[in-house]
Amino acid sequence: MDGPGLLPRCRGRTCIIHGLLHLQSTMVALCKISVFVGALAALSQGLAAGSQGHRCRCRPHQPCWPSQDEWQALNSSIDGNLAAVLPVAHACKEPSLDASACLASAAKSNDSVWRAAQPGAVQWTNWEAWPEHNQTCYFDGLENMPCGQGRVSLFSAMVEKAEHIQAAVRFAATHDLRLAIKNSGHCFLGRSTAPESLQISTNKMKSIAFTDQFRPVGAPRRQLGKGSAVTIGAGVDLKELYAAAAKHNLTVVAGLSHTVGAAGGYIQGGGHSPLGNWKGMASDNALEFTVVNANGKLVTANDHQNQDLFWALRGGGGGTFGVVVSVTVRTFPSVPAVFVDFGFAVPGGNPSAYWDLTRDFHSHLAAISNAGGCGYYYVNPQLQETNGMEVMLLSGMFLFLNETQTDKVHKVMDPLAADMRRNSGPGSTCNVTMVPQISEGIDAALKGDADTTGGIVIVGSRMISHDFLSKPDGPKRLTDALKSIVESAEAVGFTGHVVAGGAVARSTIDSALSPAWRRTMTHIVFGVDWTSTTPLAEQKEIRDRLTNVQVEKLRVLEPDMGAYLNEANAYEEDFQKSFWGDNYQRLYEIKQKLDPTGLFIARKGVGSEDWDDAGLCKVGQESRRMLQMQS
């Protein structure tokens, strides 16, 4: 089918130009315009481009696009699990307006369990839209704007087993399609959607199997087993995993969310956890992955085979090295824990007392972390009403694992609480309680059945080191930066993640995980948003302010630390260094070796700099530089 249609004429630089100009005309018009520009570019830097052959993926209006019969053949090879996909809000818009269907889906639009299961949704709706192409389909968007497909995939292989994944991967490779892997769709960087793509949705792969003594495939006979472990399918979410483990009186190193996936982007990006200080990052506890690779083969990656892939999958980022079918992670006894729940309230109208309190709070983090504490805090300088008083709140929780003695925890919490009292008022609390099983502590922290999602958000973040906060002026400099970020925009609050230290810092595991994690004391995240009717130019201003002003204030504190790739700015500059530090070179080499044609490309993922932002056309070195200049 791949005859001499439009595609061959669009090879080489011409399609790169397409990517740069965001032209919306037909390919024919496009190729005509760009011949001239392309020729100039080629003149100026020699004729490198064409020699690499095929540079854009097959797109729906082209003759290379699979025929109805070919889609049906894929459908039968995956047992009828192929779906044609429209954005979830399509029933609320022309051309398929249907008032009652619209009401039914709109009612679920903030439910993360529902969003995870819908092929036409992800969790953050800005990644369903493609504003650069004027394609959006928001539940609450402009009334008379028709539903645009945006970055929502055109077809979804809603796979149930490894063979289905293999069939979908081979189909995408054969037809040169843009492939998107979606698990929960939580990605803050838009990695689980891609325009004009075939989606592999792993949501139905819910297997969970425990073993007392795990033996990796290929391990020498005489070698001891790895102890108790659980093997989880690609679609299991964290709440399901915690619940299954609790039934066996076990726990796992996983994140604090209901619907983030346990085997997808979370663990492949490193995966921080309230159990981190006790047992390391999620990826430090991964013992084996089964993966469908770029050739459509099912392979096992562990310490004994496909070691490069195993190294890359532990921190290298989701959607980049293959489709993970399952992962085996260590399990631990569901030990007792001491749970600290705190809220310090500064009476309204006194921001300077609030920032002093925030500074003092940060000066206690090292002591808490050194004593085994792990948890989260929320710096919320917006005035809010609590118990009839206007206050600014600093609240959060800490967990001390495998601990039964509340007085030991009081020893580190009491000095903090005493310091807090200098600036906080009535209504402040710091409760220390023992829970007989960590699973109860997790349940208490994870209230409800789902996460609340469905909004528009991008985040900014930075990891701050133990060394930085241990310097006498460290807590003040960090707090000044937070304050200055708040002053640069309306309504910004921060989540601090005290999820490293302890076993994360001590670990000697060699993996793709950013080395900065081993030095991290707190990982600070804040979100910014816009509305569904905000024009693109204003969205760009918000992105630029986040990148160049707000995140920059944290970045300059420690230029060598970086950001956590799963909770970072979607427009992060120099993302290779920021997400992986010195590990990037090796990651890039592994990527070239395992996936030379770039079948698996994730936004701001390893090797993504060789493609345009949509992952549709390859870019040469010259255009890569131009893209960087434009953004």
Ligand X SMILES: *[C@@H]1O[C@H](CO)[C@@H](O)[C@H](O)[C@H]1NC(C)=O
Ligand Y SMILES: Cc1cc2nc3c(=O)[nH]c(=O)nc-3n(C[C@H](O)[C@H](O)[C@H](O)COP(=O)(O)OP(=O)(O)OC[C@H]3O[C@@H](n4cnc5c(N)ncnc54)[C@H](O)[C@@H]3O)c2cc1C
Min CB(476)–ligand X separation in Å? 26
Q: Of 211 and 402, which has the nearer Cβ to ligand X?
A: 402
Convert residues 190-219 into a mask of x (bound to ligand Y by CB under 6 A) and - (unbound): -xx---------x-----------------
CB 447, min distance to ligand X, A: 12
CB of 506 to ligand Y, least distance (A): 19
Stretch that binds ligand X, among 303-311, 328-336, 367-375, 464-472 (CB under 6 A): 328-336
What is the residue whose two structure tokens read 């100009």? Answer: 21
DSSP assignment of 7-25: TGGGTTHHHHHHHHHT--S
| Window contacting ligand Y (CB under 6 A); options: 225-233, 240-248, 250-258, 395-403 | 250-258
Residue selected from 121, 158, 168, 187 as contacting ligand Y according to rule CB under 6 A: 187
Q: Which residues touch 591 (CB under 8 Å, ≥6 apart)?
A: 312, 320, 321, 606, 607
Residue 145 vs 217, nearer CB to ligand X: 145
- Tell me how far apart the alpha carbons of residues 565 and 558 are, in angstroms, rounded to a whole number: 17
Q: In what order do the strands lie in the sheet with 458-465?
A: 429-435, 337-347, 389-401, 373-386, 494-498, 520-528, 458-465
Give the whole-angstrom CA distance, residue 346 versus residue 439: 32
| Cα 240 to Cα 224: distance, rounded to the nearest angstrom | 30
- With CB under 6 A as the contact rule, the residue among 110, 228, 370, 406 that binds ligand X is 110
Phi/psi for 351 (5° steps) reads: -60, -35
In order of 49, 265, 551, the CA distances from 324 in angstroms are 33, 10, 32
Shortest separation between residue 499's beta carbon and ligand Y, angstroms? 7
| 239 vs 359, beta carbon nearer ligand Y | 239
CB of 142 to ligand Y, least distance (A): 27
Q: E strands of 315-457, at which residues?
A: 323-330, 332-333, 337-347, 373-386, 389-401, 429-435
Any contact of residue 145 with ligand X (CB under 6 A)? yes
SS3 content of the chain, % helix, strand, coil (to 5): 40, 20, 40
84 in contact with ligand X (CB under 6 A)? yes
Q: Quick one: which H or E segment has residue 424?
A: none
Stretch that binds ligand X, among 329-337, 352-360, 476-484, 504-512 (CB under 6 A): 329-337
CB of 261 to ligand Y, least distance (A): 3
Q: Which residue from 117, 159, 246, 260 is in contact with ligand Y, where contact means CB under 6 A?
A: 260
Q: Which is nearer to ligand X, 22 or 471 (CB)?
A: 22
Site string for ligand Y, 563-602 (x = CB under 6 A): ---xx----------------------------------x
Identity of the residue numbered 454: G
What is the helix (H) or strand (E) element at residue 115, kind and residue range? helix 112-117
* CB of 333 or CB of 596, closer to ligand X: 333
Closer residue to ligand X (CB): 257 or 583: 257
| 75 is an interface residue for ligand X by CB under 6 A | yes
What type of residue is 257? S
Residue 404: which residues within 8 A CB-CB, separation 6 or more? 336, 338, 434
Q: How far is the CB of 64 from ligand X (least distance, A)?
A: 19
Cβ(118)–Cβ(454) below 8 Å: no
Among candidate residues 392, 553, 388, the one with its CA nearest the CA of residue 464: 553
- Which residues of this protein are in contact with ligand X, per CB under 6 A? 75, 80, 82-84, 109-110, 134, 145, 248-249, 332-333, 335, 341-343, 402, 429, 431, 454-455
Residues lying near ligand Y in the complex (CB under 6 A) = 123, 181-188, 191-192, 202, 234, 255-257, 260-261, 263-266, 269, 271-272, 318-319, 323-324, 451, 566-567, 602
